[in-house]
């Protein structure tokens, strides 16, 4: 069994991941504004995780499909130490998959409003990538992101495929991409937040 931890605002990934992986148990965490970087945010995050830890660790592997609290190496390492089972973390999986492609220059597509979009780009820059183009779909909040029409994502990727980037990155685990991932293929490789998590999980459980 795989334990999947998601924000309560993410209805898509628990459904989409079952198209690829069997025997997945989903655990919802409360959504709070912010990035989980402040000490008070971290305390609240780990208090909540403590209430589900025993059930979550019944899985052979744990997927933490959030960026909250794990935007940096310190946060990633803390979360891995917290659990006794292997943990696949969204932010770490995304960076690893992009580096595996040896991608230096990215075209970035996010479902976010401009402020959150800019934060994502800053995060990528801080991890050594250069963003040569980007599209923000302008959606604010989990429900708006979760209801993003697939055509918007597909059309944005088509535009990105014409760029001089080495790879295309489509952000956010709330954004559904797995059901139409084949439609995103083209001249440039495409990594989505969801596909990065799934590919990393397959490696860990030897699928």
Concatenating the DSSP letter of every residue in 45-72 gives HHHHHHHHHHHHTTSSEEEE---TT-SS
* The Cα angle at residue 106 between residues 116 and 170, in degrees rounded to 5: 50
- Based on the domain organization, do 188 and 97 belong to the same domain? yes
Looking at residue 198, its pLDDT comes to 96
CATH number at residue 40: 3.40.50.1860
Look-up of token digits 């596909």: 195
* pTM score above 0.85: yes
pLDDT of res. 207: 55
- Are residue 81 and residue 120 in the same domain, yes or no? no
Query: Are 66 and 11 within one domain?
Result: yes
74: containing domain: 2-92+197-204
Identify whether residues 10 and 98 lie together within a single domain.
no
Pair (76, 157) in one structural domain: no
Sign of CA dihedral 4, 2, 176, 100: positive
User: Does 120 share its domain with 153?
Assistant: yes
How many domains would you assign to the chain?
Answer: 2
Q: What is the pLDDT of residue 43?
A: 97
86 and 97 both lie in a single domain: no
What pLDDT, on the 0 to 100 scale, is given for residue 205? 84
Q: Are residues 60 and 75 in the same domain?
A: yes
Q: Specify whether 82 is located in the same domain as 164.
A: no
Kindly give the interhelix angle for 39-56 and 73-82, rounded to the nearest 10 degrees.
30
Write the pLDDT tens digit of every residue in 112-136.
999 999 999 999 999 999 999 999 9
Q: Please, which contacts does 30-35 make with residues 24 or more away whose CB atoms are closer than 8 Å?
A: 31/7, 31/142, 32/68, 34/68, 35/67, 35/68, 35/69, 35/71, 35/119
Parts of the chain with a pLDDT under 70: 207
């Amino acid at each position: 069994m795989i334990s999947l931890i998601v924000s309560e605002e993410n209805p898509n990934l628990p459904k989409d991941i079952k198209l690829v992986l069997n025997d997945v148990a989903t655990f919802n965490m409360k959504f709070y504004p912010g990035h989980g970087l402040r000490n008070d945010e971290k305390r609240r995050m780990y208090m909540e995780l403590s209430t589900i830890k025993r059930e979550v660790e019944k899985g052979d592997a744990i997927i933490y499909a959030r960026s909250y609290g794990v935007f940096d190496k310190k946060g990633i390492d803390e979360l891995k130490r917290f659990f006794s089972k292997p943990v696949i973390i969204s932010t770490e999986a995304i960076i690893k998959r992009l580096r595996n492609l040896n991608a230096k220059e990215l075209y970035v597509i996010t479902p976010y409003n401009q402020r959150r979009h800019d934060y994502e780009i800053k995060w990528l820059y801080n991890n050594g990538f250069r963003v040569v183009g980007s599209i923000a779909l302008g959606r604010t909040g989990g429900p708006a992101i979760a209801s993003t029409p697939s055509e918007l994502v597909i059309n944005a990727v088509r535009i990105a495929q014409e760029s001089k980037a080495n790879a295309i990155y489509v952000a956010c685990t709330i954004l559904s991409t797995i059901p139409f991932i084949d439609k995103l293929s083209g001249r440039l490789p495409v990594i989505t937040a969801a596909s990065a998590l799934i590919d990393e999980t397959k490696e860990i459980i030897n699928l």
